[in-house]
């Protein structure tokens, strides 16, 4: 997935670092971790979205559960959208094909 997503191309590394810094700053201003902010953002997308974070430690489970108590205002959601625009606003990359020429990502490709 990352190979085809323009956000993960080498020339976007600095933008990703800056976005991470800004998201961390927003999370800290709300007394949360950036992971909690990400989970709270997912929860704010609608009842049809159910995040299933993985973890290996009880401490991280507690951190993840804390995201449910994090309230994001419309201003917070707008700020997150400014920091990381929706994927639909990022130029699409043509799908990768296999040696046989089959498009393995056609379901997700939006020209």
List the Cα angle 31/17/85 in 5-degree steps. Answer: 80
Query: In this structure, how many other beta carbons lie within 10 angstroms of the beta carbon of residue 83?
Result: 15
Highest mean pLDDT among 2-6, 71-75, 103-107: 71-75
**pTM score of the predicted model:** 0.71
Q: Position of tokens 């929706």?
A: 86
In the chain, where are the structural domains located? 6-88
Gyration radius from the chain CA atoms: 17
Say what percent of the chain tops pLDDT 90.
57
Q: How far apart (Å, rounded) are the C-alpha atoms in residues 31 and 65?
A: 14
Residues 40-77 pLDDT 10s: 999 999 999 999 998 999 999 999 999 999 999 999 99
């Amino acid at each position: 997935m990352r190979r085809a997503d323009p956000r993960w191309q080498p020339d976007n590394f600095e933008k990703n670092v800056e976005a991470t810094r800004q998201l961390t700053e927003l999370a800290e201003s709300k007394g949360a971790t950036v992971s909690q902010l990400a989970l709270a953002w997912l929860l704010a997308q609608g009842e049809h979205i159910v995040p299933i974070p993985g973890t290996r430690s009880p401490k991280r489970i507690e951190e993840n559960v804390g995201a449910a108590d994090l309230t994001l205002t419309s201003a917070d959601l707008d700020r997150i959208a400014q920091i990381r625009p929706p994927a639909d606003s990022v130029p699409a990359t043509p799908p990768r094909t296999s040696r046989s020429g089959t498009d393995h990502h056609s379901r997700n490709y939006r020209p």
